[in-house]
Amino acid sequence: MISKLPQIGHSIFTKMTAMANEVQAINLSQGFPSFYPDEKLVAYLQKHIQNGKHQYAPTSGIPELRSALSHRYGYHPEKEITVTTGASEALFCAITASVNPGDEVIVFEPCYDLYVPAILLQGGIPKFIKMNFPEYKIDWDFVEKSITGKTKVILINTPHNPTGKVLQEEDLKALIHIAEKHPEIIFISDEVYEYITFDEHKHLSLAKYPQLRERTFVCSSFAKTYHITGWKTGYCLAPPRLTEELRKIHQYITFCNFTAAQYALADYISESDSHLTLSKFYEAKREVFLNKIDQNLFGILPSQGTFFQNLVFKTPTSLCDTEISEILTRKAKIASIPISVFYQDGTDHKVLRFCLAKEDEILTEAVQRLNQAHLFL
């Protein structure tokens, strides 16, 4: 058979996790927490499993969960909220609903690896714009000059994976200007790390701005917020006309999401404000990780959000970042993600991404191993 994605192989997350498991390395590559969710949330799940919530949920999500999300975000529970199988499905459905063959989609690099395959599968054309290293700022004048008659979607990610960049008020003003000038453009906003921002930075959702909200799919997830990546439960917020198109796709991909998990989350988020403590929680993790890093070996790039921290390998070397990452995994027993894989052309600044969602003792041990990197490189 002819591959629809001939240039796409196994994801870097699969590769690095397999390598970490093979050599028994500390795995700071894949973005998943190593600690348990709140016992109350687990108890709610157990309750609903025991009470027989085993059959299909409504395709848009159970009313109780959509109502709880409506209370949090201010979207209409029936017409504007769809529960999905993680943010990944929400993003895939939004891209599928928006992109037709030949449409251009502006994608900011480095970018999460789901975006490009989803665009290509719809016959879309990714138009890559690099964020300016090392601050990862977006040149909005260049963005505007890059818009053509074929531009259909601008894909936003804030807080940004893999850089940790959080869009500021001036960024949103630039987006509003583009929206007003180009009424045909749709925005898809990946906001899964919305509750994890650092150093007084605030998450600014596109949903907060009427000029953007009316043309935006906001995709998010409970996974990073409540340490439940394996539950694969997310949601999409969008105005009725966009939601209608998204649901047409959603019903034929997964139809519905894990029923008992939806009931558990509906109960939990109606009474819990634990998400409001995430920023301080991960800020403390970041400090544990950075406190004793040998800055003669690694430069620290600013992380304004997410639960990732990027480091630049400073020692002059002919090795590329993927080689550095593999050597550190196999020899120093500490796994990371090389940032070049998030660029279409493999741009390499010798930057490695490390996940902070681990116990403090694991992060401390990881730093000790990283500080021995010069022995292997």
Q: Do 94 and 177 lie in a common domain?
A: yes
Note whether 292 and 252 are same-domain residues. Answer: no
Asked whether residue 137 is domain-assigned, the answer is yes
pLDDT, tens digit, 9 for 90 and up, residues 261-304: 999 999 999 999 999 999 999 999 999 999 999 999 999 999 99
- In a domain, residue 341? The reply is yes
pLDDT digits (tens, 9 = 90+) for 182-202: 999 999 999 999 999 999 999
Residues 256 and 348 in one domain: no
Both 112 and 144 in a single domain?
A: yes
Q: State yes or no: pLDDT of 230 exceeds 90.
A: yes
Q: pLDDT digit string (tens) for 104-124?
A: 999 999 999 999 999 999 999
Give the model's confidence band at 315: pLDDT under 50 very low, under 70 low, under 90 confident, else very high. Answer: confident
Question: 11-59: per-residue pLDDT in tens?
Answer: 888 899 999 999 999 999 998 899 999 999 999 999 999 999 999 999 9
pLDDT at 83 over 90: yes
Question: What pLDDT sits at residue 377?
Answer: 82
Q: Are 324 and 348 in contact (CB under 8 A)?
A: no
Report whether pLDDT(375) > 90: no
The verdict on 133 and 213 lying in the same domain is yes
The pLDDT mean for the chain works out to 97
Question: Is there a contact between 206 and 212 (Cβ–Cβ < 8 Å)?
Answer: yes
Q: Which of 250, 271, 292 is the last residue of a domain?
A: 271
Of residues 375 and 369, the one with the higher pLDDT is: 369
pLDDT score recorded for residue 61: 99
Q: Are residues 253 and 295 in the same domain?
A: no
Could you tell me if 234 and 150 lie in one domain?
Answer: yes
Number of domains in the chain: 2
Answer yes or no: do 131 and 172 share one domain.
Answer: yes
Shared-domain flag, residues 170 and 133: yes
Residue 137's Cα: distance from chain center in Å? 18
Q: What is the CATH number of the domain that holds 195?
A: 3.40.640.10
* In the predicted structure, residue 145 carries a pLDDT above the cut 90: yes
Range of the domain at 91: 53-271
Give this prediction's pTM. 0.96
The residues near 342 (Cβ < 8 Å, ≥ 6 apart) are 109, 110, 111, 112, 113, 162
Identify whether residues 197 and 62 lie together within a single domain: yes
